Homo-oligomer: A and B are copies of this chain.
């Protein structure tokens, strides 16, 4: 029986701290809480209980799934990184630019947030889309 609220994995919003935990599991999964904690501690310096809390909240939100492994749990993402990242990107474009991607692009260009590689890659994507 699923939580029945929202029904889709990731329908609930994931906070920034939670995102850090997701990252660890997107990078490699499944992992135990202790492993995730080790990974995450490097960048964020959180204590074990903190990471545990975030893991629980993510499970409650349906973004992670657990599988018992002896006396502990193995955590894996239910919400895929692509889905999440796509959603967040669209949210931002929607909110800040009324859904138009071009102004976002213009902003990044202006702020020199685009590397030469980015530009080359984007050109390649554009050529591909034309076909």
A101 and B89 in contact, given A19-B95, A125-B106 (Cβ under 8 angstroms): no
A60 interfacial contact with B, CB 8 Å: no
A34 within 8 A of B: no
Does A72 count as interface, using CB distance less than 8 angstroms?
no
Known interface pairs A19-B95, A113-B101, A126-B123. Does A89 touch B108 (Cβ–Cβ under 8 Å)? Answer: yes
Chain B residues with CB under 8 Å of A115's CB are 100-101
Measured CB to CB, the closest approach of chain B to A40, in angstroms, equals 15
Question: Are B107 and A105 interface neighbours, CB within 8 A?
Answer: no
- Say yes or no: is A48 at the interface (Cβ < 8 Å to chain B): no
What are 22 residue pairs bridging A and B, where the CB atoms are less than 8 Å apart in the complex?
A85-B107, A89-B107, A89-B111, A90-B113, A93-B108, A100-B115, A100-B117, A100-B118, A101-B105, A101-B113, A101-B115, A101-B118, A101-B122, A102-B117, A102-B122, A102-B125, A105-B121, A105-B122, A109-B129, A122-B122, A122-B126, A123-B126
